[in-house]
Amino acid sequence: MLLVNTIRDNFETVLEGLQKRNFTHAEATLHQVLELDKTRKETQTERDNLQAESNNISKEIGALMREGRKEEAEKIKSRTAEIKSQIKILEDNYNNVEEDLRQILYTIPNVPHISVPSGKSADDNEIVLEHGSIPDLPESKLPHWELIKKYDIIDFDLGVKIAGAGFPVYKGRGARLQRGLINFFLDEAMKAGYTEIQPPILVNEDSGYGTGQLPDKEGQMYEATADKLFLIPTAEVPITNLYRDVILNEQDFPIKNVAYTPCFRREAGSWGAHVRGLNRLHQFDKVEIVQVVHPDNSYEVLEDMSNYVQSLLQKLELPYRVLRLCGGDMGFTSSLTYDMEVYSAAQERWLEVSSVSNFENYQSNRLKLRYKGEDKKTILAHTLNGSALALPRIVASILENNQTEHGIKMPNVLVPYLGFDMI
């Protein structure tokens, strides 16, 4: 959530950034924020003045009573009752205005970093780098949805029987490949200084609002309506909310957490021929990295996190590229996002496997996640997160890129985790 002071003090910069995102009615919305904030301050000032008057009258009544001038004291008591009634009305008005202001701020996305390119869709994203060679597969190559049937390692039909489309069942070496990848990703993260967390996979509304899933992505989350809980779309939500309403010390930075969780997404309206097999699921496994850092260091940390995710792809021997997302393709809460895509040789297309994002203080403002600076003032921290990594498309690319006439060769780095080198 943007700070009102940021909007007021940097109006043109904020407006330019929101226009880069193609945010509708940006200027009118920002002016509405400032008008509501003005009303809020005026209401607060009026309330404070009345409270001060009430306090002075109370002192005057006390003095009159001590002097035995009870009749005079009683005459001015009626004014205190009138003031209390006015204060109550002003407090209600203040709360209503503050709620209106909060709800409007919830609708405004984060301001993109200056380096974010303009654009309306994924076609306008900027390629930062490419790494690795695209495998030269024979004409008989198979996409992963055919390979998993051939080797009987993942069963979509059983998943439909149990839950519905988008909930695959992993079997035998397919299940071991899942577990091996999870353990590999967790081990690598801990080597890089991340602390492993095992969070709940259900979160409450406050957590959803804290990281920006609510109200923006409410329709994409599965909800346990009886208890007003949501299945997590990513471990970012529970991990980042560990620090909601927390005041850190400056020496606590950087905070580095990693978690493996299943993730759940309704993916409403996103189905089609281009999302066959593992390309898009309702339930999938992911290892997530989250950092809470000093504002001065967050973009350096973003580059470090991007390099870390790239190192995983290099160890898995997968060709990949890094994209800087344009304003029209960024997530609602992000200030700058890098997407990592691996090349799927049988599908002959790039598949996104990770997003690494800096949210600056956008999430922290919602979370009230602060730290004490040198002058003891509380300052909003910066938060970042990244997939390291999401499994479905990694598995799809491993299966497709490494297929041979004898089977599917596993990346060397995974063999100790799997206990086999071929499927």
Residue 361 has pLDDT above 80, yes or no: yes
- What would the DSSP string read from start to end of 206-223? HHHHHHT-TTTTGGGS-E
pLDDT in tens, 321-356: 999 999 999 999 999 999 999 999 999 999 999 999
Please indicate if the annotation marks 355 as binding a ligand: yes
CA–CA dist 60, 77 (Å, integer): 10
pLDDT in tens, 43-76: 999 999 999 998 998 898 888 888 888 888 888 8
CA–CA dist 282, 146 (Å, integer): 20
- pLDDT grade for 274, boundaries at 50, 70 and 90: low
Please state, for a pLDDT cut of 90, what percent of the chain lies above it.
88
CA–CA dist 273, 172 (Å, integer): 27
CA–CA dist 198, 257 (Å, integer): 10
Picking from 331, 372, 111, the residue whose alpha carbon sits closest to that of residue 236 is 331
Backbone angles phi, psi at 336, to 5 degrees: -155, 130
pLDDT of amino acid 176: 98
pLDDT of amino acid 160: 96
* Entry pTM: 0.93
Please indicate if the annotation marks 39 as binding a ligand: no
Q: Residues for the chain: how many in total?
A: 423
Residue 358 neighbours by CB under 8 Å, 6+ apart: 113, 298, 299, 301, 302, 334, 335, 336, 337, 382, 384
Please indicate if the annotation marks 265 as binding a ligand: yes
Please indicate if the annotation marks 95 as binding a ligand: no
Please state, for a pLDDT cut of 70, what percent of the chain lies above it.
98
pLDDT in tens, 143-171: 999 999 999 999 999 999 999 999 999 99
Q: In the structure encoding, which two tokens stand for residue 105, read together?
A: 């701020």
Residue 261, strand partner residues: 286
Please indicate if the annotation marks 267 as binding a ligand: yes
Backbone angles phi, psi at 115, to 5 degrees: -80, -10
400 CB neighbour count, 10 Å cutoff: 27
- pLDDT grade for 272, boundaries at 50, 70 and 90: low
Q: In the structure encoding, which two tokens stand for residue 204, read together?
A: 């409450």
Cβ burial, residue 155 (10 Å; 0-12/13-18/19+): middle
Q: Catalogue all structural domains in the chain, each as residue range(s) with its CATH number.
A: 4-106 (1.10.287.40), 122-418 (3.30.930.10)
113 CB neighbour count, 10 Å cutoff: 17
Please indicate if the annotation marks 266 as binding a ligand: yes
Q: What is the rounded average pLDDT for all residues in the chain?
A: 95
Please indicate if the annotation marks 385 as binding a ligand: yes
- What would the DSSP string read from start to end of 4-48? HHHHHHTHHHHHHHHHHTT-TTHHHHHHHHHHHHHHHHHHHHHHH
Please indicate if the annotation marks 334 as binding a ligand: no
- Per-residue pLDDT averaged across 125-131, rounded? 98
- pLDDT grade for 299, boundaries at 50, 70 and 90: very high
pLDDT of amino acid 268: 63
pLDDT in tens, 10-43: 999 999 999 999 999 999 999 999 999 999 999 9
Cβ burial, residue 167 (10 Å; 0-12/13-18/19+): middle
- pLDDT grade for 270, boundaries at 50, 70 and 90: low
| Higher pLDDT pick, 218 / 309 | 309
pLDDT of amino acid 269: 54
CA–CA dist 150, 28 (Å, integer): 57
224 CB neighbour count, 10 Å cutoff: 10
- Per-residue pLDDT averaged across 224-243, rounded? 97
